[in-house]
């Protein structure tokens, strides 16, 4: 091993074997020449079996391939190396240090999983364990790390008594506690405080072990900076925790899934749950105003630092549900999303508005780093030497050539001049320096460092050099910045809560008020005398008795808090509502209150809101009473909670006389009362609404009315009482109308039968005989027979239209089903062609095979349109062209004739009921029937002009086949 690392007196094998950390020695080929007990344990092998075996492969399997690569490089270069890495097989962080000797390498492994617990990788480099071996109280071996912790070189300590490093008190402790423990048990571990060369305290975590030949091995790790920072951090945490737990509002810290990470005492007391149980719960278990997925979605949408204000409902351990107002703040802690939720109970009507001002607490979890290196400058030859740690902090390798001038170039441009001036004064005036400045590493990272320099003098007191330390304090600086920001946020939270603060000395009645206490009343702080009178003279006289009673109850220990709402006079003479909350914080030996502190909260707007709410309730009652239908609410036992005037009038009472009474007390008909109660219980027990199409109610005057009633379950606000809310409409007159309508439908059915059977049969007989006579009359007789035939045919068509219209009127709402368009349309084309041989009906491009949404009366649409195109055609040969087009969801049918066409002003009217065409002798029902049916199919029908001067009727129908038909 190099003399830079160890003293000239090398430790014997038994000393090395006793070291409480793995130690290996291997030759240039990577073969094991030495391994101590801890090293064998680490590799899970016997020491003897490892000796002479290749070591690097075993280390790679156990610690990861990165370790083998680094050690290969160290052997090849013959240079000392040290690095930290995460060993996957071990599941922990380790530090490996390698020292070249002759043609081999000595390797030390520190398992950080044992030493640092959950510290992050950047926090495990606080210091390196130093090793010293004592024989009869004198150092016989001291490595560089152990010596440098005290400001010495190794050779400075070898041969000296260990007491050189400790004051009298620590020496006495070592002699009476440490050495006897080592002699008795062979080992002692603990913390000791030594003295460095310059007299500074050096705190160390120390392990003292006795080896076989009576020598004692000391391993020490410097923890000075960590201990100091730990004390400061512990004090800060204590203060923050006290503020956190004593907050008057509940505070919960949870993660993105709602798991509770922390909660203050107030939250535990409010929910009636102890802290241990609450930390095992999810927010969704006591926040019942939202379900769990809604909560997670709400949190996920928040940005870091965003404050979300919502209202929810919490459930106490006894099942009571109460409303809360919640402020949620999203923060990032160690890269993890966390949420700080501050909640306030707003159950009391007097605390519903502007009562909650969130008090934020941020619990800082910092990890300590004390990465320290050393530097030395010889001003005579302008040379600079850095330890490996200084190189690492700068982000450069130890073989990098860095001059004094180069070193200043690393400093941040804003700090470079300050460092240059400090170093100049050290050279010219011998002035030491201790600065915390920024540097910029080679990877362009900005880091905070602490640079300490001490001048070195020759015999003539001339500065010939400088020695110093170089410490990376970036994480400490970042934590300090976070603490400052946390304090600023807390200050902003208090300021944002708009609180007036008072501090009352009950012995002298002197009171200290903050500025907000005064400005809340429109006064300037210098207008307020620091005395109790300043408060008493401004309290409303009508409120003073209530205020004094509340205050006395607290001062005498009958109430935990003084909490009172009262009015105070403002600067302009108006009255403002204030919530005054306070607590005795100090009593004398006899228990007499000595000091109390409290807050004033402006609740004037909330009070105005409550007054408005009460007025709104009264107006709502007036509206309910004006509703002509019965509106009522009843609880489980049938007691009326609400009855509007219509409900009360049915029983011959006033709403006031009904409310608070049971059904049995006000409903004349006992059977009706029992039926109503049965329905109410069904709704409450099932939790489902109930529709009652028809039920009877006997009024107070004996008249029986029919009601259509809806009943729904609900929970009475502010309680767990289950109730039913009802809405009933008098349908007596409606039922009478429906009965008359049914009678008319029956009469219409009879008329339809007469038209379809009796009249149509007689017309068919007339038509049959007339057609027979066509072949038996002469030309003169045909002149008279043709009008008969035409009239008979038209009469038959009229009865067909009448039948279809009647069926349409009698038909209830029918369901549309997929109907093949080609089949229906082609059938009607064939019928029309057969009925009039003189007409010419052609299809253009074929008829679409699409399915449309219609019913069995679709054929009537096309029959009437084709008949209309033939009968109202003035051409010698009526020519009808039928074509279809389609889109993804619609089909259009075009029926174009060569007749006289239809004027624009009549194109809409011809579809009206009873509307006839020009010179038409028809009933006007055909086209009316067409539009009625097409509308039923959710389609459309219209008429257009065509190129032949005639009319084109367009029918558009919805497809049922998704656009797959041709």
Q: For the segment 888-940, what is each residue's pLDDT rounded down to a tens digit?
A: 899 999 999 999 999 999 888 888 865 554 444 444 567 888 998 899 899 99
Residue found by looking up tokens 């174009």 in the block: 896
Average pLDDT over residues 404-433: 90
Can you give the pLDDT at residue 811? 59
**Predicted TM-score of the model (pTM):** 0.30
Give the number of other CB atoms < 10 A from CB of residue 815.
6
Can you give the pLDDT at residue 907? 87
On the question of pLDDT at 123 being above 90, the answer is: no
Can you give the pLDDT at residue 120? 32
d(CA 265, CA 272): 10
Q: Which residue has the higher pLDDT, 246 or 291?
A: 291
Report pLDDT digits (tens) over 572-618.
999 999 999 999 999 999 999 999 999 899 898 888 888 888 887 78
Residue (of 730, 746, 872) closest to 809 by Cα position: 746
- 926-936 vs 858-871: helix crossing angle, rounded to 10: 150
Q: Are 249 and 340 in contact (CB under 8 A)?
A: no
On the question of pLDDT at 495 being above 90, the answer is: no
Can you give the pLDDT at residue 837? 74
Answer left, alpha or beta for residue 730, where phi above 0 means left and psi between -120 and 50 means alpha. beta
Give the number of other CB atoms < 10 A from CB of residue 580.
22
Query: In Å, how far from its chain's centre is CA 439?
Result: 40
Give the number of other CB atoms < 10 A from CB of residue 336.
10
List C-alpha distances in Å: 152 to 1, 166, 195, 571, 905. Answer: 19, 14, 11, 73, 115
Can you give the pLDDT at residue 367? 31
Average pLDDT over residues 206-213: 80
Q: Are 97 and 107 in contact (CB under 8 A)?
A: yes
Residue ranges in 687-759 assigned as alpha helix (H): 732-753
d(CA 933, CA 942): 13
Q: Which residue has the higher pLDDT, 401 or 15?
A: 401
Q: Which of 17-21, 95-99, 562-566, 921-925 shows the highest mean pLDDT?
A: 562-566
Q: Are 539 and 568 in contact (CB under 8 A)?
A: yes
pLDDT category of residue 776 using cuts at 50, 70 and 90: confident
Tokens of 564: 């009172």
Residue (of 845, 846, 809) closest to 826 by Cα position: 846
Q: Are 604 and 594 in contact (CB under 8 A)?
A: no
């Amino acid at each position: 091993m190099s003399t830079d690392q160890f003293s000239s007196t090398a430790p014997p094998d038994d000393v090395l074997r006793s070291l409480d950390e793995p130690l290996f020695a291997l030759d240039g080929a990577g073969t094991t020449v030495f391994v101590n007990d801890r090293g064998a344990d680490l590799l899970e092998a016997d020491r003897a079996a490892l000796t002479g075996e290749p070591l690097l492969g075993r280390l790679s399997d156990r610690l990861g391939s990165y370790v083998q690569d680094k050690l290969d490089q160290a052997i090849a270069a013959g240079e000392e190396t040290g690095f930290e890495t995460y060993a996957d097989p071990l599941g922990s962080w380790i530090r490996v240090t390698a020292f070249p000797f002759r043609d081999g390498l000595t390797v030390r492994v520190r398992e950080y999983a044992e030493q640092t617990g959950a510290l992050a990788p950047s926090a495990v480099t606080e210091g390196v364990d130093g090793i010293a071996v004592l024989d009869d109280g004198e150092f016989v071996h001291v490595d560089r790390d152990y010596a440098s912790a005290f400001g010495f070189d190794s050779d400075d300590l070898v041969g000296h008594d260990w007491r050189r490093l400790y004051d009298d008190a620590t020496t006495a402790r070592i002699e009476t506690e440490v050495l006897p423990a080592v002699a008795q048990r062979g080992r002692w571990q603990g913390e000791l405080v030594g003295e460095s060369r310059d007299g500074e305290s050096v705190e160390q975590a120390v392990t003292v072990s006795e080896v076989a030949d009576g020598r004692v091995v000391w391993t020490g790790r410097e923890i000075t900076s960590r201990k100091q920072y730990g004390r400061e951090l512990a004090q800060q945490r204590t203060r923050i925790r006290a503020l956190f737990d004593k907050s008057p509002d509940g505070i919960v810290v949870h993660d993105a899934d709602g798991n509770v990470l922390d909660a203050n005492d107030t939250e535990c007391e409010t929910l009636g749950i102890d802290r241990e149980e609450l930390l095992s719960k999810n927010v969704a278990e006591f926040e019942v105003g939202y379900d769990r997925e809604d909560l997670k979605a709400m949190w996920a949408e928040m940005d870091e630092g965003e404050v979300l204000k919502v209202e929810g409902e919490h459930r106490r351990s006894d099942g009571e549900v109460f409303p809360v107002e919640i402020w949620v703040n999203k923060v990032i802690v160690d890269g993890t999303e966390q949420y700080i939720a501050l909640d306030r109970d707003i159950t009391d009507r007097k605390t519903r508005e502007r009562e909650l001002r969130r008090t934020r607490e941020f619990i800082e979890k910092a990890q300590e780093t004390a990465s320290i290196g050393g530097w030395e400058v010889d001003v005579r030859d302008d040379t600079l030497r850095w330890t490996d740690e200084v190189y690492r902090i700068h982000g450069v390798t130890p073989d990098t050539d860095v001059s004094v001038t180069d070193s200043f170039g690393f400093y941040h441009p804003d700090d470079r001049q300050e460092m240059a001036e400090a170093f100049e004064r050290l050279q010219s005036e011998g002035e030491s320096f201790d600065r915390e400045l920024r540097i910029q590493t080679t990877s362009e990272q900005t880091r905070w460092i602490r640079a300490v320099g001490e001048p070195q003098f020759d015999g003539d007191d001339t500065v010939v050099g400088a020695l110093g330390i170089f410490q990376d304090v970036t994480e400490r600086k970042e934590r300090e910045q976070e603490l400052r920001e946390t304090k600023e946020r807390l200050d902003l939270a208090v300021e944002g809560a708009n609180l007036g603060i008072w501090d009352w000395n009950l012995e002298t009645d002197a009171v200290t008020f903050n500025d907000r206490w005064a400005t809340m009343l429109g006064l300037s702080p210098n207008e307020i005398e620091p005395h109790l009178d300043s408060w008493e003279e401004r309290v409303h006289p009508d409120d003073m008795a209530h205020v004094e009673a509340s205050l006395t109850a607290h001062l005498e220990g009958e109430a935990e808090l003084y909490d009172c709402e009262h009015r105070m006079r403002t600067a302009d003479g108006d009255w403002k509502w204030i919530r005054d909350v306070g607590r005795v914080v100090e009593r004398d030996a006899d228990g007499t209150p000595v000091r109390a502190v409290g807050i004033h909260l402006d609740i004037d707007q909330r009070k105005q809101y409550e007054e408005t709410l009460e007025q709104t309730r009264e107006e709502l009652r007036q509206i309910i009473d004006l509703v002509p239908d019965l509106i009522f609410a009843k609880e489980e036992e049938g007691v009326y909670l609400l009855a509007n005037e219509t409900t009360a009038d049915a029983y011959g009472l006033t709403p006031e006389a009904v409310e608070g009474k049971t059904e049995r007390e006000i409903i004349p008909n006992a059977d009706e009362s029992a039926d109503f109660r049965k329905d109410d219980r069904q709704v409450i027990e099932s939790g489902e609404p109930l529709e009652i199409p028809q039920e009877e109610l006997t009024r107070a005057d004996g008249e029986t009315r029919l009601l259509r009633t809806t009943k729904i379950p609900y929970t009475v606000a502010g309680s767990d009482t289950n109730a039913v809310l009802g809405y009933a409409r008098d349908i007596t007159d409606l039922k009478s109308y429906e009965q008359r309508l049914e009678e008319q439908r029956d009469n219409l059915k009879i008329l339809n039968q007469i038209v379809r059977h009796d009249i149509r049969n007689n017309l068919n007989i007339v038509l049959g005989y007339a057609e027979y006579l066509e072949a038996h009359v002469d030309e003169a007789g045909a002149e008279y027979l043709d009008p008969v035939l035409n009239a008979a045919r038209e009469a038959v068509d009229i009865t067909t239209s009448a039948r279809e219209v009647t069926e349409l009127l009698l038909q209830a709402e029918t369901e549309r089903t997929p109907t093949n368009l080609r089949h229906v349309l082609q059938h009607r084309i064939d019928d029309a062609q057969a009925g009039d041989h003189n007409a010419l009906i052609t299809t253009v491009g074929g008829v679409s095979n699409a399915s449309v949404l219609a019913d069995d009366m679709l054929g009537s649409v096309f029959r009437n349109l084709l008949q209309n195109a033939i009968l109202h055609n003035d051409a010698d040969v009526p020519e009808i062209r039928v074509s279809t087009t389609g889109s993804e969801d619609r089909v259009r049918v075009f029926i174009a004739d060569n007749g006289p066409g239809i004027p624009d002003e009549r194109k809409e009217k011809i579809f009206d009921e009873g509307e006839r065409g020009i010179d038409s002798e028809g009933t006007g029902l055909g086209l009316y029937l067409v539009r009625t049916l097409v509308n039923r199919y959710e389609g459309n029908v219209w008429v257009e002009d065509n190129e032949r001067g005639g009319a084109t009727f367009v029918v558009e129908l919805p497809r049922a086949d998704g656009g797959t038909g041709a």
